[in-house]
Amino acid sequence: MYSKNLAVLLLLILSFISSGKLCKWHSPINVLEEEYFSFCCSMGPQDKGQVAYWYKRDTNKKEQVLVRGDRRIDLNGTNLRFWPVVVNDTGIYSCCLRNGTRETPCKEWSLNVIKRNKKNCFTEEHVLTGIDGIVGRSYAFTCSDTDDSVNVVDIAWYKNCTENINKRGEEEWHIDQLTEEDGGKYTCVKTILHEGKKYNRTSTTSLNVKGAEENVIPKLIGPDHHVFKTEIGKEEILNCTVFLGYLKNFVQFQYELYWIGHGDTIETCQKNSSLCQMEERKYDENGKKYAVKQLWFKSVKEEDINSSYTCTFSENGFEKQTFILQKESNPDLPVHVFTTGMIMAIMFSFVAVMMVILCLVFKIELVLLFRDIMGKDETLEDGKLYDAFVSYLKDSTPICGEERKFALEILPKTLEDHFGYKLCICERDISPGGAVVDDIQSFIDRSRRLIIILSQNYISDQVMFELEVGLHKALVERKIKVILIEYMPKSCSDFLPKSLELLSSSQVVKWKEEKSLPLNSKFWKKLRYAMPAKPTAPAVCQGVTLQDRRKRTSTFCITSKPSLACY
């Protein structure tokens, strides 16, 4: 027994080097495949300024090979790390410290990488045999050591491959008093996060528990001093528990277990008792025998607060535990916590308000950006041929006025050439023949929007019919949406139907001449917002290119009478 303890102590002493780092000096070192592992090359004060070089040779060869770092093998100062270690890493490793002029003797380790047993939580060849435990004594298992620099994100403990949830995250599993049932294999798995990936470090210790070599001493369970938070009028029960011994070899003995309060022994509970000690109760758990005596407060009173109550256990001596009741209070938040909380609340509220304001101010830009990113297309499978039917004054004087130029050149050039829309402009996309009324109604039905270019001279039988048909379909039949482009203020358009006033602000776009010409102007953004969502692409209408359309537009500017059939 003493030789075992001496060997372990010697191993621990050799593990610590002058720099304070823990380095493995025993050989061979057994590790599991596919796990994180690291070597540590010891360095003393006299070795400062030297560089560590690592060499590896196979066990059946004499030739050494310089270890070079890569994504899996990390050369970090005096540490050699594997992310992870594999079976081919088995071999004899040497660490040599050099600075060009001085070289220290190389230290050598033998590394044995063991194949993992994937059907079990531990591999027999990797199990360490711990020092035998003795019934009634304490025992502690420590998880495998890791460098301070690694990021341990989880620790899990298993006994015979069954996880102990209560030990999760703890570096040590401590058993106060061993029983024969505590024997088994204890496995600790550390999870380490490195460059976004998780690696394990597993260690398993086998514990053999021997019978008691000395008499078990009964004792009170828990600390000597307890403080309980309570409230006036609340019922409270205090537990005093004593360990009596192990069931296997338990022998009855004489002892006393009682409560003392306010300088006197507290009486056993009666029917009308408000403060009393209950009858002693014995119970068995995990091969151990316990006794418990409870102190019962039927209703906590003011005089009970801050008074001490002592549980006394006597058996060849006295052992005591003190319990104190304290009033539970809800203290005000510290000033700095309250101030910080208020500042954070105000900041979050301000940010939320600003976000809402920005969304309202830049609503159109955000919607257009969302359409571009998502590639949204509202024109698929709706049975429509045109994105918009354009209504404008066709018999103005002079015949090629500003409104006509806007309708036949500026509007289609931008919407069709740059944003991929398909417009129906009768003066441009017309072939001779057809009935005016039937054709206009037909082409409005085949369009998704009705664009009205409202100018100072906007009045004629044909355009008024287009307007009335479009408004009826928009406001009554709800088959089309109207977009009103103002070339003049609506206040000057008393001759127009009053139903135009029902259009929302998002359906009215104001032309501001030179200011509206750029593609990123507010005019084009609002017009695109009112148009159906469609991926931006050059438009082609019935196989006729935009260049052909502009040629035809120039021709129609000198034609005295337009034809009336879109195709």
* The amino acid at 380: L
Show the tokens assigned to 454. 């409202």
Q: Sort residue 457 into left (φ over 0), alpha (ψ -120 to 50) or beta.
A: alpha
Contacts of 142 (CB under 8 A, 6+ apart): 171, 172, 188
Closest alpha carbon to 151 in 73, 78, 81: 81
For residues 348 and 333, what is the distance between their CA atoms, to the nearest angstrom?
20
For residues 389 and 453, what is the distance between their CA atoms, to the nearest angstrom?
11
For residues 361 and 112, what is the distance between their CA atoms, to the nearest angstrom?
68
**Cβ count within 10 A of residue 37:** 22
Q: Parallel, antiparallel, or unpaired for β 133-134 and 209-210?
A: parallel
Contacts of 474 (CB under 8 A, 6+ apart): 450, 480, 481, 482
For residues 120 and 139, what is the distance between their CA atoms, to the nearest angstrom?
25
For residues 372 and 387, what is the distance between their CA atoms, to the nearest angstrom?
17
Cis peptide before 398 (omega within 30 of 0): yes
For residues 37 and 528, what is the distance between their CA atoms, to the nearest angstrom?
61
Strands (E), 214-373: 219-220, 225-230, 236-246, 256-261, 264-265, 275-277, 281-285, 288-297, 308-314, 318-327
For residues 52 and 459, what is the distance between their CA atoms, to the nearest angstrom?
93
Residue 386 per-residue DSSP state: B
The answer to whether the CB of 321 falls within 8 A of the CB of 308 is no
Burial grade of 188 (CB within 10 A; 0-12, 13-18, 19 or more): buried
Alpha carbon of residue 377 to chain centroid: 33
**Given 170, 180, 466, 468, which residue is catalytic?**
466
- SS3 for 164-184 is CHHHCCCCEEEECCCCHHHCE
Buried b (16+ CB within 10 A) or exposed e, 230-240: beeeeebebeb
Active site residue 466: yes
Q: Sort residue 282 into left (φ over 0), alpha (ψ -120 to 50) or beta.
A: beta
* The amino acid at 395: D
What residues are labeled active site?
A: 466
